[in-house]
Chain A
Amino acid sequence: DQQVKQNSPSLSVQEGRISILNCDYTNSMFDYFLWYKKYPAEGPTFLISISSIKDKNEDGRFTVFLNKSAKHLSLHIVPSQPGDSAVYFCASGRMGQFYFGTGTSLTVIP
C-alpha cells in the first residue's frame, strides 16, 4: 500500500504562472518531507524540504506547504519557467527511511 501518493501524473502551466504540485501521505509519524526534481537519465535533484515542526518553507521561487492534519504537502513554483519542466517527486518519512510518490511530470509552456 502506497504511503506517499501523487495523484496527478502530469501538469501543464503557462510560463510566468504558478505551478502547484500536490502530495498526500498516510503515516502520521513521518516528520520530514522533501521535493525532488528529475530529468530523464539523471538522478533526482533535491529542491526543498520541510520538517514537521513547520508549515511553510521558502527558497527563492519554490515554497513547500505542509498540512499535518490533512497529511498533505504541496510545492508552489512562482513564476514557472520552461527550465522547470521535469518530473517532480515528493518524499516523506523519518529516521532516514523515506517513501517516494510516483511523480508529477510538469510541463511549462513558453
Chain B
Amino acid sequence: NAGVTQTPKFQVLKTGQSMTLQCAQDMNHNSMYWYRQDPGMGLRLIYYSASEGTTDKGEVPNGYNVSRLNKREFSLRLESAAPSQTSVYFCASGAGSNQPQHFGDGTRLSIL
C-alpha cells in the first residue's frame, strides 16, 4: 500500500553539486507534481506532468528540470544546487488535472 514513494528522505549537498530526487506512484495516476515547501509558506508548484510524455512549468521552475520517465515515475533534478533551494520537496500524483492529489512524505534537502 505504498502510494507515492520519494527517495531519498534526507540529503545534504554542497553549493554547485547536482542531484536527482526520485518519485514513484503505484496508483496508476496520470498526473504527477513536484512542490517545494519553505518555512512559513504554503506548497509551491515547481513542475507538473499532466500525462506520460508531457511536462509543464509551475510557479517556481527556475533551477530545476524534470523527467516523466514513465507513467509511474517523475524525477526532479537540480543541476547546480544553490542555498536558496534548501527546502522540503514533495511529490504528488492525481488521477487527473482537477482531482485530489496524493502526496509522498517529502525529501528534506539542505544545501550548504
Contact = CB atoms under 8 A, between A and B. Distances in A.
A83 interface: no
Interface residues of A, number: 26
Contacts of B59: 97, 99
Nearest to B59: A99
Contact of B98 (A32, A36, A44, A102): A32
Could you say which of A44, A46, A102 has the most chain B C-beta atoms within 10 Å of its C-beta?
A44
Nearest to A46: B100
Interface residues of B, number: 28
Contact of A43 (B31, B96, B103): B103
- Sorted nearest first, the 5 A-B pairs with minimum C-beta distance are A43-B103, A100-B42, A96-B97, A46-B100, A100-B43
Interface of B: 4, 31, 33, 35, 40-45, 48, 50, 56, 58-59, 90, 92, 94, 96-98, 100-106
Interface of A: 4, 6, 31-32, 34, 36, 41-46, 49, 51, 89, 91, 94-103
